[in-house]
Structure 1
């Protein structure tokens, strides 16, 4: 399995637009933040090759605008009003069908480990704090649009710690059998979460949790939650 790895620290150095495709087209972004004055300031700071295709201030607005505009990158605040109280994680969950084509870059005042890890687990490609400068955020948008993972200095360590340090041969041979969602469910179940708690954490139904757990046990050739916990502990995945 390939765990999202931190990219270079945000430096603001110029980077080519959509380098993988060599496409000079502008990068289309949606800004999600509940403070209109911050959204206005951020728009003014972005370089001309980054075009704001939409804005949102709540969870519900964000999910709707992202689905309608299908931007290249979403600049996503972690703490948002609305929805079921899940903030940025809930926006990511509600935008799950678009994660293959739309990149999410968390942008928050918070540098708390739990905030960083939660949105990365939910599918964000990076996390930067609001102390970032205009040139730096433009550089971060370009990198995320190009497929890189971008973090403010020191935040990358939170991600490395959270995703564990299992040996490469174990990760490649066994964890590659699991989908990204199955891996999320596996970690929570192995840590002792109930099916109901997993469903609440990941914004999915209890029935879906049961389906994922069955798939995990089958793929890893295990027969119970107890065996799954021991398997994860032995590989330092908890």
Structure 2
């Protein structure tokens, strides 16, 4: 096992799908599966226990579903990047997952190679979304209160604004910390503050909103 590999936790109630994902991920030296969970409850426990770099989470599970699991993970301060992998391309599911703090949303009908490529991108700190879902997200975040948020943008410190721009480029906390020569913990605190100031619920919302701001500038 590569000590520098991105650690991945699989949470899905279909054993066959978990096995397929495991085999897919095993093809990549830079990724390693450190755990599997067959339910949301088990996934939450493993996420808290192992603090993986990346969690791949199914949406439709018996008992505690993916959205509940995602919400519980974020409520328990799980800072792993969390990617939803599901059959549902329902707009509401996509937007709810993003607002609950998901870092990406992939559909199970994608080619395995494409899924693996997106997982690798997510491991590098990028947001990942199935192609046909990008419009859904962009449209939802183009809200009428843009001018109000533009004023709030002025309330950010220069460091928070700097971090917001790097989030919009798809960088993870780890990469932002390296770029600005500060600790991961400091980045997390800044991200928390800027999301609160902008009244946004996740990094993905912040990134898409910032991109729209830059387009409108």
TM interval, shorter chain, is 0.5 to 0.7
1:165 CA displacement: 3.9
Written as runs of structure 1 = structure 2, the 5 A alignment for 1:83-122 is: 83=64, 87-96=65-74, 97-100=76-79, 102-122=80-100
4+ runs of 1 displaced by more than 3 Å? 97-100, 165-170, 175-178, 180-184
Q: In 1, Cα distance between the equivalents of 2:92 and 2:24?
A: 28
Which sections of structure 2, spanning at least 5 residues, go unmatched?
157-193, 202-217
Q: In 2, Cα distance between the equivalents of 1:181 and 1:167?
A: 11
Check if 1:44 corresponds to 2:19: no
Which sections of structure 1, spanning at least 5 residues, go unmatched?
1-22, 185-238
Q: In 2, Cα distance between the equivalents of 1:60 and 1:105?
A: 17
Q: Which residue of 117, 135, 154 maps to 2:132?
A: 154
TM-score by length of 2: 0.64
- Taking a change above 3 Å as real, the CA distance of residues 103 and 181 of structure 1, as seen in their structure-2 partners, is farther
Q: Which residue of 61, 67, 79 maps to 2:48?
A: 67
- Taking a change above 3 Å as real, the CA distance of residues 75 and 178 of structure 1, as seen in their structure-2 partners, is closer
Aligned residue for 1:132?
110
1:143 CA displacement: 1.4
1:60 CA displacement: 0.6
Rg: which structure is higher? 1
- Taking a change above 3 Å as real, the CA distance of residues 171 and 111 of structure 1, as seen in their structure-2 partners, is same
Q: In 1, Cα distance between the equivalents of 2:198 and 2:143?
A: 19
Written as runs of structure 1 = structure 2, the 5 A alignment for 1:5-84 is: 25-46=4-25, 47-49=27-29, 50-83=31-64
CA contact (8 A) 2:6 2:53 kept: yes
Of structures 1 and 2, the one scoring higher in RCO (CA 8 A, sep 6+) is 1
- Deviation by residue 1:113-152 (Cα, 9 ceiling, x = unmatched): 1111111111111111001223222221221122211111
Superposed CA RMSD: 2.6
